[in-house]
Amino acid sequence: EMDVIDVPIPHVQGKTVLGVAIRDEKGVTIAAMMRAGEPLARGVYRVIQGARFVYHSPGNLLHVPGHTLILVDSVINSGKSIRDELGALSAPGGGPFHGRIFVVSDVMQQEASEALPREFPAVRFFALRVSGNKYTGSGGTDTGNRLFGTEQS
């Protein structure tokens, strides 16, 4: 679970109500899985502005400072990218990350939404939508290409 504290926040009706904030935002690292994960990761960063923001590349998260890592990707289809990174973070001798890990995505394919939490029970997974559609794009149909109107060669 995320370590949160109660904080007073203004309500639209002019009164003050209790909300929550992350206790130690400076101990949080938000990692954008490139390219498609960046817009959602930027949104998460807008909420946790004291966090560190990094662009993910394979293996660069092994020595992330802090105690909370939030991996952000736009779409998780088979789960291969997330699975690879989580495996590297917990691999013996690979400088395992000794903190809480959260994975956030816009869409997660149904099978991955069931398999990943079983494989990585210490990791919390959050998706805005779980999809029964099983589609993995490539080339011009890749999620990043569709979001940014580009194509990598």
Is-contact 81 52, C-beta < 8 A?
no
Write out the two tokens for 69: 């890592």
CA–CA distances in Å: residue 29 to residues 17, 40, 78, 100, 110: 28, 14, 24, 11, 27
Mean per-residue pLDDT of the chain: 82
Residues, the chain, total? 153
* Digit-coded pLDDT (tens) for 63-99: 666 688 899 999 999 999 899 888 877 765 555 567 8
> pTM to 2 decimals?
0.78
Question: Quick check: helix, strand or coil at residue 47?
Answer: helix
pLDDT value at residue 12: 92
How many C-alpha atoms does 93 have within 13 Å on its Cβ side?
0
State the average pLDDT over residues 135-141: 60
Specify the higher pLDDT residue, 103 or 141: 103
Dihedrals φ, ψ of 111, to 5°?
-65, -40
Query: Where does the pLDDT of residue 146 fall: very low under 50, low under 70, confident under 90, or very high at 90 and above?
Result: very low
Q: How far apart are CA 31 and CA 41, in angstroms?
A: 7
Per-residue model confidence as pLDDT tens digits over 18-55 = 998 888 888 898 999 887 889 999 999 998 989 989 88
